[in-house]
A = this chain, B = another copy of it.
């Protein structure tokens, strides 16, 4: 039982913070998916609102700009009837020379209940959770190159909706594994949930040194790596990596690693294509695939709201789907995290 597990869970093993997939047992990930399932119908109702977090104060603490992620957290909070404060910290009190911890102390003194944190530094959300008082829950909305756990869980939710179970699945993650917090969270989630095989496909310059220790297989060739997979996850290529030491050019990248019909043909006929967005058409993915019948990219966005509602509700101790006996047994048998 790691340090991280301790800080994310309460003494009686309920979710207190949601900071990383690493350190959470399979049963907990399944409970998040089950809870999200109960929320997924809320978005389809005439009145898209449940009173679960009414009167709670949720602060979006974004040290990095991100309209899309902030928006989905804001919508999730509003559909749970919480009050939301959006703070763009880069532009606020810290510019008056106040320290991060003083800013946090002040927000806590305002009786906030939850911080949703995005920060360019790995470990920022853990640091904030460790330094927050008992009554605050912290959710990591992306920290540096470390983790982006709600993104991984919405991906798992989307996969489970399509295939029902993780055990038989072969999943390939394609792109800049080296810098991707999304990929790290996905790999932890897939191995914890017991996927048959997890592959990463990228040029050598974009693969971290000891990646095999996370339980994945490394490929540098798209056709080999995609052969027989059930799920293809394409990562966004950050433009700022281009043209330097990491990558030659957009054209050469698309040639070698961009997902095209020809390369996708190596995957199973039933394979689905995922992408965390926003997509670069013609860079990491061809438009015909992004808009095609195997793409589930927009389903991921929809599912993201249900998953974020689930994590918010669970960390606040307000509502969780029941832990199934089967799931906790499974966790004992095969759900060990790397």
- Cβ of A56 < 8 Å from any Cβ of B? yes
A55-B48, A96-B278 known; A305 vs B71 contact (CB < 8 Å): no
User: In the complex, are the beta carbons of A97 and B45 less than 8 A apart?
Assistant: no
Contact A47 B54 (CB under 8 A): yes
Residues in chain B near residue A49, CB distance under 8 A: 54-55, 83
Supposing A68-B93, A96-B278, A105-B298 touch, asked if A110 and B47 sit within 8 A by C-beta, the answer is no
Tell me which residues across on chain B come within 8 A of A44, comparing CB atoms: 111
Q: From residue A172, how far is it (CB to closest CB) to chain B in Å?
A: 23
**Complex Cα gap A97–B237 (Å):** 11
A1 close to B (CB within 8 Å): no
| Segment 285-321 of A: residues with Cβ below 8 Å from B | 298-299, 301-302, 304-305
Segment from A72-80, A120-128, A211-219, A327-335 that makes contact with B: A72-80
Partner of A279, one of B43, B102, B278: B102
Contact among B83, B106, B281 for A298, CB-based, below 8 A = B106
B298 touching A71, Cβ below 8 Å:
no
Residue A247 at the chain B interface, CB threshold 8 Å: no
Q: Which residues of A150-187 are within 8 A (CB) of B?
A: none
CA distance A111 to B78 in the complex (A): 13
Question: Contact: A301 with B106, CB < 8 Å?
Answer: yes
A265 contacts partner chain B, Cβ-Cβ < 8 Å: no
| Residue A38 at the chain B interface, CB threshold 8 Å | no
Chain B residues with CB under 8 Å of A298's CB are 105-106, 108-109
Q: Note all chain B residues with C-beta closer than 8 A to A55.
A: 45-49, 79
A278 touches B71 (CB 8 A): no
CB of A130 to closest CB in B, whole Å? 16
With A and B bound together, what is the CA distance between A108 and B298 in angstroms? Answer: 9
24 of the cross-chain contacts (CB-CB < 8 Å) are A44-B111, A47-B54, A48-B55, A48-B56, A48-B57, A48-B111, A49-B83, A55-B79, A67-B92, A67-B93, A68-B93, A68-B106, A78-B83, A96-B278, A98-B277, A99-B281, A102-B278, A103-B278, A105-B298, A106-B277, A108-B298, A109-B298, A109-B299, A111-B302
Q: A55-B79, A98-B277, A110-B304 are in contact. List 13 more A-B contacts (CB 8 A).
A: A45-B55, A47-B54, A48-B55, A68-B92, A71-B85, A75-B83, A75-B85, A78-B83, A102-B277, A102-B281, A103-B278, A109-B302, A111-B305
